[in-house]
Amino acid sequence: MSNNTETESRKLLGRLREAMAGDDAGQARLDKITALIADSMKTEVCSIYLFRDEETLELCATEGLNRESVHQTRMRVGEGLVGRVARRGVVINTADAPNARGFRYMPETGEERYSSFLGIPIQRLGEMLGVLVVQSKDSRDYSADAIYALEVVAMVIAEMTELGAFVGEGAALSPLHKQSVLLKGGVAQEGATEGHIWLHEPRVVVTNPFAEDPDRERERLQEAVDELRVGVDKMLAQSQNGDAEQLQVLEAYRMFANSKSWMRRMEEDIARGLSAEAAVEKEQSLARSRMAQSQDNYLRERLADLDDLSNRLLRILTGQGSETGAEMPDDPVLVARNIGPAELLDYGRKLKGIILSEGSVGSHAAIVARALAIPLLVHVGKITTEALNGDHVLVDGDQGVVHLRPDDTVISAFRDKIAMQAQAKERYTSIREKPAITVDGEQLQLMMNAGLMADLPSLETSGAEGVGLFRTELQFLVRNQMPKRGELVASYARVLAAAKGKEVIFRTLDIGSDKVLPYMTPADEPNPALGWRAIRVGLDKPGVMRMQLQALIRAAEGRPLSIMFPFIAQFEEYRQARSEVDKTLDRERKLGHVLPKTLKVGAMLETPSLGFAPLKFFEEVDFLSIGGNDLKQFFFAADRENERVRSRYDTLNISFLSFIERVVERCEISGTPLSFCGEDAGRPVEAVCLAAMGIRRLSMRPASIGPVKSLMMRVNLTDLRKIVADARHRGEQSVRPAVMDYLREI
Ligand code: PEP
Ligand code: MG
C-alpha cells in the first residue's frame, strides 16, 4: 500500500469527519458523504443502501443516480449486485457490471450507463447494515488500495449508523437501538416476564471513529496492547496448573496479542485516519465475518478467541465495560450469545428471564433455567446486537417472542397475559392436594426434579409427591473447588429434612459432556456426549463417587435412602456401581455409622442398549428411571445441544413411544418400578402420552406439576392408547396430530 493512497484516504476520512461534524439532519449528512466519496474516488456515482428491514435494502443516498429514486429503489437481500454484497458480506468489484452474474437493471436509477461497479458491505461486528457502492462509466477494476480505503469509510459509516448519525428529519432510517423490535426464538423454558436488559458481555461503543493525529493513536494502541499482553501473561502464569483447555485458549490469546500482522493491519488503519478503537473494531468485524463463513471448527474457535481478545482491547482503550460500568437493573433479563450452567447458577434467581442468540433447549444451562423457573428463549438471532443494557423487554416464553423496547399497546396486552397466567396458577393451586387420577381411574405419581437447595420449598408449593431426580452435580457445578465430604453430608441432610419423609432419589454425580466442573481437567474428546461421562467417570475414578455414597449414607442417619446411577449402558456397570454401594455400606458399618433403614439402588435408562439388557438386570435393579433427554439424543442420534437436529425428532414419534412401551412391558414382567424423569415428563401432552404407554411415575420441574396434573385429570388413557395404536397402524410418524385432535375434543 503506497503512502500516497494512505494520505488520500486520510484526506477522505478528514472530509468525512467534517461532513459529520456539521449539524445537518440525517439525510443531508448522507447526501454529503456520497458526494464527497464520489469526488475523492473520481467516480460518477456513489450510493449508500441501508437495510430497511431484515430482508430489504433501500437506496438512502446517491450522488450520480437519479435523485428521485432515493427511498424509492429497494431490493431484497441477494437480489442484484447490491443484494449479493449484502447477502454474502463480501466485496464485489467488476469492470463490466451489466454482464456480471446477478446484475439487475433498475431503470429508475439510470444505472445502465455505468460499466464498473464496486460494492462494499457496511457492517459492524458481523451485523450487516447496508452496502456502499461506487460506479463509473469507464470500465475500471478498482485497485486493492481503493477497496481498502472504501472499506475503512464503510466501517466509519457503520459506526455512525450505530450512533444514530443519519437519523433525523427527512431520513428514512429510524434510530438503531431505539425503535421497538420483535424477535423470535425457541422456547427452552416457558413463562412470561418483563424486565430490563443485562448484557452478559458488555457491548463496547466506539464514539470516535476518526482521529486527527495518527502518531497519538498509534501510541494509544501500543499502550493498550502492552497492557493487554501483561494481562494475558498474568492469566497464563496464574493458570499454569489449571486445566488444559483454558491454557490452550490463553496460549492462543498470547499468540494473537503478539501477532505482528494483527498489529500492522491496525496501524495501517490508523494511518488512514481511524482512531485506535475503530482500527481494533475493523479487525474484529473482519474476524467475525470470517467466523460466520468458516466451516472449520478449530479456526472458528481461534477466531472466537481473537474476538474475545479484541473486546478486552476495546475495553482497555475505551474504559467501558469495567466493573465501574453499568449497574445491573433490579429486574434483569440476561442477554448472551451462549452461557454455561455454572455461569447461570452464578446469576441465580435474580434473573427475570434469559435470552440467548445461540443456546439449545436440551442443554444443561436450559435445565438450570428450568430448575430456577426462569423463562429462557434460545436462538434469538439478533438479540446480542439489538439489545443495549437497560432496554425495556418483554419475554414471551410461551410463543418464543421477545418484544424489545415495546410500545404501550404491546405492554398492556402483555400485562393482561401475565395476569391470566396468574389465574391459571391459582387453578393449579386448587388441585394441588388432589391425586392425579385419569378419567378411567388410573393414578399417576407426579414427582419433581431438583438439584439446588432453593428448589426444595417447591416440594410443598407444587404438590410433588417427592423428588424423582435430585441432580447432585448442580451443587458441584456452582463451586470453584471440589466440595468436602462434610459439606456434602450437611447439604444432603438438609435436603432429606426438607423432604419431611417424602422420597428423594439422589442421582450420583453426572458430569462430562456439557457439564464440566471448573476444577477438573476435562478430557479432550472428539464427542463428549458419547464420551467419558457420568457413571463411566464414577467407575474409572471412584474416589468422588465413594465420597458421595458415604455422604449420602451418613446424611440419611438411618432414614430410608434412594440412590440412582446415571447413564448405565449395560448390566455390568450397574453391578459394579452397586458393589461400590455395598462396599461403602460395609465400611460405614465398621466405622460405627448407622445405616439407612431401607436402601434402594436404581439406574437411569439413558441409552437404548439398556432397554435390551437381560431380564436379570431388570430383576436386580431396585428401580429404573428413563432419562428421556439423553435417551432421545441416542435413540435418534441427534445431539440434544444442537438445535438444528434436535427439533427434527418428536417425542411422540411412534418408534420412540414403542421403545418406551417395550421398556414398560419388561419392567412389568420383572416387577421393576419405572419412572420417566426427562424434560418431556413436564410437558402436558407428552406426559399424558407417556402415561398412555404405561408410565405411572413422572418426575418433572416443579412448575410443570400443576399443568400436567390438570390435563392428566381430564384424559382417558384407554382412549389415548387406542389413538396411539391406530396411528401406528396407519403408519404415521408421530401421534401428535391425532392426540391433539383428541385433546381439543375433551
Ligand atoms: C436425562 O438425560 O433425561 C436426565 C434426566 O438427565 P440430564 O438431563 O441431567 O442429563
Ligand atoms: Mg441424562
**Given the C-alpha cell 458441584, which residue does it identify?**
476
Catalytic-residue membership of 200: no
Using 50 as the pLDDT threshold, list the residues of the chain that sit under it. Answer: 1, 169-172, 323-324
pLDDT in tens, 654-685: 999 999 999 999 999 999 999 999 999 999 99
| Three-class SS state of 518 | coil
Cα-based distances in Å from 14 to 11, 37, 716: 5, 12, 76
Question: Can you tell me which atom of ligand 1 is nearest the CA of 471?
Answer: 9
Q: Are 353 and 376 in contact (CB under 8 A)?
A: yes
- Distance (Å, rounded) from C-alpha 447 to C-alpha 700? 6
Catalytic-residue membership of 364: yes
- Distance (Å, rounded) from C-alpha 352 to C-alpha 332? 6
In eight-state DSSP terms, residue 210 is: B
Listed as own residue / partner, the contacts of 703-706 with beta carbons closer than 8 Å and 24 or more positions apart are 703/191, 703/370, 703/373, 703/458, 703/462, 705/428, 705/446, 705/448, 705/462, 705/463, 705/464, 706/424, 706/425, 706/427, 706/428, 706/429, 706/431, 706/432, 706/462, 706/463
| Three-class SS state of 134 | strand
Q: What is the dihedral of CA 407, 412, 415, 420, to 10 degrees?
A: -140
Cell of 363: 442443554
**In terms of DSSP bridges, do strands 503-507 and 401-404 run parallel, antiparallel, or are they unpaired?**
unpaired
Ligand 2: centre distance to CA 529 (Å): 10
Q: Is the CB of residue 680 below 6 angstroms from any atom belonging to ligand 1?
A: no
Using CA positions, which residue lies closest to atom 10 of ligand 1?
630
**In terms of DSSP bridges, do strands 436-437 and 674-676 run parallel, antiparallel, or are they unpaired?**
unpaired
Q: Which residues surround ligand 2, an ion (CB under 5 A)?
A: 606, 627, 630
What's phi and psi for 515, nearest 5 deg?
Answer: -100, 95
Using CA positions, which residue lies closest to atom 4 of ligand 1?
627
Q: Is the CB of residue 627 below 6 angstroms from any atom belonging to ligand 1?
A: yes
Q: How high is the pLDDT of residue 351? A: 95
Ligand 1: centre distance to CA 631 (Å): 8
Q: Is the CB of residue 630 below 6 angstroms from any atom belonging to ligand 1?
A: yes
- Distance (Å, rounded) from C-alpha 522 to C-alpha 477? 13
Run of H or E including 444 = strand 443-450
Q: Are 310 and 201 in contact (CB under 8 A)?
A: no
Q: How high is the pLDDT of residue 205? A: 73
Out of 46, 60, 364, 689, the active site residue is 364
Q: Are 58 and 74 in contact (CB under 8 A)?
A: yes
Helical spans, DSSP H, in 483-542: 485-499, 535-540
Q: What is the pTM assigned to this prediction?
A: 0.64
- Ligand 1, pocket-test mutation among 452, 535, 629, 677, most atoms within 8 A of CB: 629
SS3 assignment for 640-683: CCCHHHHCCCCCCEHHHHHHHHHHHHHHHHHCCCEEECCHHHHC
Using CA positions, which residue lies closest to atom 1 of ligand 1?
627
